[in-house]
Structure formats: structure tokens, C-alpha cells
């Protein structure tokens, strides 16, 4: 051990660590700008553990200590304990069903006294490790559907449990494991079909059936017109286009309404619709079920609240203009107009205070971080490290892309944090661990890990 300690910095990717530190620092400034009011004592507040920015600072301190420990460990530890940690993670998620605490409508938290832990959040790390472990096993042949199924099971089990707890936002994050799988040889057809189905589903929820039927028919005619020469030579293409068209029509016109009317319970249907931000058009047609008006009202209220959040978020970001209003000069963030502005909507303070230039710079830092991770992934000799690195990059990407899209109204409200910027110990801790395990693995990239 005495030989190891001076080597803590050896092989470590300092660029990645600087990017990490920069983002956490920006996060602290943002939380500060949201909470600080003229006349607050800055130093006392920062050390007082009363304000959020102060707490975040302490969390950051804890993260540095934890990161140092991770850098001091042997990277073999992660391959060795990957499956075990995964099982522990699953166990923790299951434990929330028993001892869970409900925060903001999802019973996915375990109270630890000094902080609340969200196992689904933490389980991202374990899932990434377990997936890497599975894909790097010599006996795994990922071209076979059986292996693909196992990989999918590893990835989506925590997500499924999470949905059962009412935490849909984080569950969606687990879709990002599709990217490392793709990199490792998952046929792109799966992704394309999956993406097309997702688009179809969302479109059938958002738009009226009539509009969609017309749109599909138009698209079908267009496809026939474009490919008319090929069709003359190949009748199979014609059949395929007609088949696709028929499926779309069937899906939109029959399957979706049938499923929402007869398969799902009303509250389930409502939840799905509220996820895409529209009212359930099949509500009230469920003759068998009594409409719980109180529940209905609560849902409605939540929906209004979400619309309000997005509107206020857009106002704050939009009013920033090209150069922003200046640090601590944002009228919207200082006036508490945006709810959750220190957690999920932390980007509003960047948008308002630093404007388009500041927002773009932040986005470039994030992109830099993610692309750096991809580069790191590609230089690994071991499949384990590469899969893990891709998982980290994908999780970061998913979080950033979805979170920012929500704040600027590109996506329906999905409650996930902005990595390293949002206030919250659980989130900061998770991303720190994710990243520093990667740094540790990368430092040992000459080793082939199994």
C-alpha cells in the first residue's frame, strides 16, 4: 500500500477531472445565485449548512473524499464486485417498497437521517458495472438474441421497479444503456424500430387519430411515388410499404385506443398521458370505473403546475437575451418565479444570468465532457472499461439532453437532474462515483479486465 499512495495521480485523465470540477463550481454558483438575496452574509451562509448552496458545498467535500477513495482502490475491485453491487442495488430498490419515503409523489427514497438516498439513482452505477461485466465475459456472444435479452434484462429491471415506485423520470434514464449495447453490436434495426415505435406511440398520444391517419396515408403515397421504379422491379417493397402503412393505421386506430380503454386502468392511462403533457382523451369513456374526482383534481393541479413551471422556465431563460442580465441580477430567478429552480430547473439561472453565450458555453462544456468520455472509452483495451465508459457517457448525455429540453420546452416535463449542477446530494454523489470509477478504470487501461 505504501507504494500505491504516491501513484494516485498516475494515468489519471486530468482533463476529465477539470471538466468535472468546473461543472460542480458552476453548479454551486447557480444554486447560490438562485438563493442569495441582497444582504445575506456570504461566508457565514456558505459555511452554515442552512442554505442549499452551503449544503451542496459540503456534499461536494464528501464527494472529493469519496473520489479520492475510488482513485486509491484497485480497478479489479469493480469487475469483481460488479454483479454483487448490482444485486445490492436491486435489493435497495426493493427495500424502498418497505421503508421508502415519499418525496414529490414518488416513493423511491430511503431516509438516512442526514440525507435522503434514492436507490434508483445509485443503481445506475451498479447497472453500468453489471452490464459491462456481462458484455465483457468471454462466454457472452452478443450477436445472439439470448445474450441481448440478458443485457436488456440487466438494464431494464431497475427501470421497471422504478416505474412501479412512481419514479418514471429516472426509469427513462435506463434507456441510455441501449447506446453501449449498440456500440457492442446490438443490431441497429432494433434501435430504429424501437425509436419508430416510440415516435409512433408518442404521436398517437399527442395528435388526434384523424390527423395521423391522413398523415400516414400521405406518407405512404409519397413513399410509393418516390420508389415507383424500384416497385416495378420488386414487388416485395410494395408489400412492405403497404404493410407498414397498414400497421400504422392499425396501431393508431385500433391498438392504442383499445389498450387505453380496456387494458390500462384509468390512472395508468392518465399517468402515461400526463407524461407527454396532454389530457387523457379516453377519460370518462371507461364506463366500468368510477371517476375519483379528488384524484382527478390532484392530477389536474399537478399538470397545471408543470405547465406553469415550463412557462416560467422559458420566461427566465428567454429573458436572458444574448449576454444575460449578469450574475445575481436575474429578476426571475431572484423572484422565485421558477419552482424547483435549484434542482431540476437550475439551468434557468444560467440562461437568465448569462444569456445565450453563457448557455452555449455550458452546453459546450457538457458536450466536451461527454465526447471526452467517448474518446476515453475508445482507448480502452478491456471491453469492461469500454462498455462502462459508454454507459457513463450515455447517462450523462441522456440527463443533460432531457433536462435542458424540458427547461426550454422541447420535451414534456420529466423530472431528472442536470448532472453536477442540480442541487442534491444523491445526484451529485452518483455522478461523482460514476465518473471517478471511470477515471480509475482509465488509469489502468493497460490492464485487461474481465
Partner 1 sequence: MSVFNQSRQNVIRLTFAVMFVVIIARLFSLQVISSKYKIMADDQGKFRKVVYPDRGIVYDRHNNVLLQNTTIYDLMLAPNKLKGVDTLAMCRILDIDTAQFNKRVVELIIKNGRTRPSVFEPLLSDSKMAMLNEVMYKFAPAFYLQERSVRSYPYDAAANVLGYTAEVDTNFLKKHKDEGYVSGDYAGMTGIERSYEKVLMGVRGIEYWKRDNKNRLTEKLENGKFDTAAIAGQNMHTSIDIELQELGEKLMQNKLGSIVALDPRTGGILAMVSAPTYKPKFLSGSERRKHFSELFLNPALPLLNRTVGATYSPGSTFKTLQALIGLHEGVINTHFKVACSGAFYGCGTGKPKCLDKGVFDLRGAITVSDNTYFATVMQKVINNPKYPTIDSSLSNWDRYMYAFGLGHRLGVDVPAEKKGFIPTADYFNSPKRYGEGRWNYCNFVSVSIGQGEVNVTPLQVANEMAYIANKGWYKTPHVVDSIEGGDKFNMLAAFKEQHNAIDIPDSVFEAVHDGMEGVVERGTGLGAKVEGISICGKTGTVENYIGLVKQPNHAFFCGFAPRDNPKIAIMCVVENSGKFGGTYAAPIVGLMIEKYLKDSITGTARLAQVEQLSNLNLIPARIYAAIKTQDSLRHLKDSAYMVAKGYLKGIKDTMELEQDDESDLLDKIKKDADSTTKKELPKKDSNNNLPGMNTDAVLPNEKRKTEPKDTVKN
Q: Which residues in this chain contact partner 1 in the complex, by CB under 8 A?
A: 37-38, 179, 182-185, 314-322, 329, 331-332, 334-337, 351-352, 355-356, 359-360, 363-364, 366-367, 370-371, 374, 377-378, 383, 386, 390, 393, 397, 401, 404-405, 408-410
The closest alpha carbon to 24, from 62, 50, 51, belongs to: 62
Q: Which residues pair with 117 in a beta bridge?
A: 110
Nearer to partner 1, 190 or 356 (CB): 356
Q: Which single residue is written with the C-alpha cell 379528488?
A: 294
C-alpha–C-alpha distance, residues 278 and 274, integer Å: 6
C-alpha–C-alpha distance, residues 240 and 213, integer Å: 18
User: Measured from the CB of residue 429, what is the shortest distance to partner 1 in angstroms?
Assistant: 24
Nearer to partner 1, 127 or 348 (CB): 348
Burial label, 393 (beta-carbon count in 10 A; 0-12, 13-18, 19+): buried
Helix (H, G, I), strand (E, B) or coil at 111: strand
User: Measured from the CB of residue 310, what is the shortest distance to partner 1 in angstroms?
Assistant: 12
User: Measured from the CB of residue 352, what is the shortest distance to partner 1 in angstroms?
Assistant: 8
Nearer to partner 1, 36 or 109 (CB): 36
User: Measured from the CB of residue 173, what is the shortest distance to partner 1 in angstroms?
Assistant: 15
Helix (H, G, I), strand (E, B) or coil at 195: helix
| Residue pair 352/330 in contact by the 8 Å Cβ criterion | yes
User: Measured from the CB of residue 306, what is the shortest distance to partner 1 in angstroms?
Assistant: 16
The closest alpha carbon to 392, from 411, 407, 373, 378, belongs to: 373
Nearer to partner 1, 95 or 323 (CB): 323
Nearer to partner 1, 267 or 356 (CB): 356
14-26: string of b/e by CB count within 10 Å (b at 16+)? eebbebbeebbeb
C-alpha–C-alpha distance, residues 245 and 213, integer Å: 9
User: Measured from the CB of residue 162, what is the shortest distance to partner 1 in angstroms?
Assistant: 23
Burial label, 216 (beta-carbon count in 10 A; 0-12, 13-18, 19+): buried
Nearer to partner 1, 138 or 287 (CB): 138
User: Measured from the CB of residue 378, what is the shortest distance to partner 1 in angstroms?
Assistant: 5
Cell of 357: 453565450
User: Measured from the CB of residue 190, what is the shortest distance to partner 1 in angstroms?
Assistant: 13
Nearer to partner 1, 4 or 379 (CB): 379
C-alpha–C-alpha distance, residues 291 and 289, integer Å: 6
Nearer to partner 1, 127 or 332 (CB): 332
Amino acid at each position: 500500500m505504501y507504494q500505491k499512495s504516491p501513484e494516485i495521480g498516475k494515468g489519471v485523465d486530468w482533463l476529465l477531472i477539470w471538466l468535472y470540477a468546473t461543472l460542480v463550481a458552476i453548479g454551486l454558483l447557480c444554486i447560490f445565485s438562485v438563493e442569495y438575496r441582497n444582504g445575506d452574509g456570504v461566508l457565514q451562509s456558505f459555511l452554515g449548512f442552512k442554505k442549499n448552496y452551503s449544503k451542496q458545498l459540503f456534499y461536494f467535500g464528501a464527494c472529493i473524499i469519496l473520489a479520492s477513495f475510488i482513485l486509491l482502490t484497485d480497478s479489479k475491485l469493480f469487475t469483481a464486485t460488479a454483479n454483487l453491487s448490482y444485486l445490492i442495488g436491486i435489493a435497495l430498490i426493493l427495500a424502498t417498497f418497505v421503508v421508502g419515503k415519499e418525496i414529490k409523489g414518488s416513493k423511491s427514497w430511503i431516509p438516512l437521517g442526514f440525507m435522503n438516498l434514492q436507490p434508483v439513482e445509485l443503481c445506475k452505477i451498479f447497472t453500468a458495472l453489471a452490464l459491462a461485466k456481462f458484455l465483457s465475459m468471454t462466454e457472452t456472444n452478443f450477436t445472439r438474441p439470448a445474450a441481448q435479452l440478458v443485457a436488456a434484462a440487466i438494464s431494464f429491471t431497475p427501470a421497471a421497479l422504478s416505474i412501479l415506485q412512481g419514479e418514471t423520470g429516472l426509469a427513462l434514464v435506463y434507456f441510455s444503456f441501449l447506446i453501449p449495447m449498440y456500440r457492442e453490436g446490438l443490431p441497429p434495426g432494433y434501435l430504429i424500430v424501437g425509436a419508430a415505435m416510440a415516435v409512433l406511440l408518442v404521436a398517437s398520444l399527442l395528435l388526434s387519430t384523424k390527423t395521423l391517419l391522413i398523415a400516414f396515408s400521405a406518407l405512404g403515397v409519397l413513399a410509393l411515388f418516390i420508389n415507383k421504379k424500384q416497385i416495378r422491379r420488386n414487388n416485395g417493397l410494395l408489400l412492405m410499404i403497404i404493410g407498414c402503412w397498414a400497421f400504422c393505421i392499425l396501431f393508431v386506430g385500433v391498438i392504442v385506443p383499445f389498450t387505453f380503454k380496456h387494458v390500462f386502468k384509468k390512472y395508468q392511462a392518465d399517468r402515461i398521458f400526463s407524461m407527454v403533457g396532454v389530457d387523457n382523451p379516453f377519460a370518462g369513456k371507461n364506463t366500468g370505473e368510477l371517476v375519483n374526482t379528488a384524484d382527478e383534481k390532484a392530477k389536474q393541479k399537478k399538470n397545471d403546475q408543470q405547465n406553469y413551471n415550463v412557462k416560467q422556465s422559458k420566461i427566465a431563460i428567454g429573458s436572458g437575451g444574448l449576454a444575460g442580465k449578469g450574475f445575481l441580477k436575474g429578476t426571475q430567478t431572484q423572484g422565485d418565479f421558477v419552482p424547483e429552480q435549484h434542482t431540476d430547473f437550475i439551468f434557468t439561472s444560467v440562461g437568465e444570468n448569462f444569456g445565450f453565450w453563457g448557455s452555449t458555453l455550458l452546453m459546450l462544456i457538457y458536450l466536451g465532457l461527454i465526447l471526452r468520455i467517448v474518446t476515453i472509452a475508445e482507448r480502452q483495451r478491456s471491453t469492461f472499461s469500454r462498455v462502462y465508459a459508454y454507459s457513463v457517457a450515455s447517462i450523462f448525455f441522456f440527463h443533460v439532453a432531457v433536462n435542458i429540453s424540458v427547461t426550454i420546452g422541447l420535451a414534456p416535463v420529466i423530472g431528472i437532474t442536470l448532472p453536477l449542477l442540480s442541487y442534491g446530494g444523491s445526484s451529485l454523489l452518483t455522478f461523482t462515483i460514476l465518473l471517478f470509477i471511470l477515471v480509475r478504470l482509465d488509469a489502468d487501461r493497460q490492464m485487461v479486465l474481465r
